[in-house]
Homo-oligomer: A and B are copies of this chain.
């Protein structure tokens, strides 16, 4: 077992792409760290650098207490689940899983035992003798998983290992991986796009954007206290609603005004978390509101905790909950930063248009029994203590 440390690590591809920029991240011995970030932000590259599959353009990579920059992958003693699986096509599923053990000269019967056990866990027992090409996509992914979990390495590197599994299996696998990691105490770096995995599996979550580390913290901390707009917008699904707000001081009570209509009270709890807000009175800030903190207002809801008569534009039934989209006159946030995070010129253009028109859609999560219909005008409440505030230019939280 060993810690993994990125010490000012850069990756430049021959064509000049900088996939990882000055990454500083320490994964402690036995820790389980989740790596998240938009597609193409350098997660796989970072993992591959740990594994020794990409040269390190600059900086130091440390595993245990060895600088491993020049060590070959085999010498690093890590197990990896490749995003592309990279199964050995000429070997049966069993041989694929046992290959690393065979290389480590583990006795045959022990190999068999460990492979069978892993196959059990992964539900691959009946496919042990098949070649990868006769497997379904998810089965292949499980084989890739199996190749890692039969081992007992210094570190696990897993690159979206569950992305092609069905929900049920994924739940099971999550539990298995967590249990395994717990039992072996193996340092683990885990890439995922699944918010649930990100929030539940790891000790800490590291958020990358365009090769740059944004924030590393425990999942809940990340969720509750995002360091900047990007993290705020990235963590959580559906994403946090972000809008331009004007800060007012009404009789010593700080309020934010979104667009033309609403003026919401910022309560003390929120002010405690964002003390920087006080100095912004009269100015504009970025306001973040998570969908699940909206609720269907009723008579008892104070006026300064709700946006009255919102026009419902879309209702998505998710079974256990409902996503209600409604219109606001709040201007969306447009920073260069956002622009990059959106990574999609057209969406950006639309946002700009919306900004000009001074209005955007908010998404709220409501109880199914509270669900309005499209076209309804509803009063939408918001929990005053749950607001987030960021500098509109730098995107940094107003702490």
Chain A residues engaging chain B, CB cutoff 8 angstroms: 13, 15, 17, 36-45, 83-84, 120-123, 125, 130, 134-139, 141-142, 159-160, 163-172, 193-196, 199-200, 219-220, 223, 233-239, 290-292, 316-321, 323, 341-347, 365
Contacts and interface: CB of A to CB of B under 8 A. Distances in A.
Given A13-B134, A121-B344, A346-B120, A39 B164 contact: yes
Contacts of A163: 163-164
A61 B168 CA distance: 30
A229 to B, nearest CB: 13
Nearest to A17: B134
Nearest to A344: B123
A130 to B, nearest CB: 8
A319 B240 CA distance: 12
Contacts of A142: 39
Given A163-B163, A166-B39, A236 B195 contact: no
Nearest to A85: B84
A327 to B, nearest CB: 16
A11 to B, nearest CB: 12
A269 to B, nearest CB: 13
A225 to B, nearest CB: 12
Given A171-B237, A290-B320, A166 B37 contact: yes
Contacts of A199: 316-319
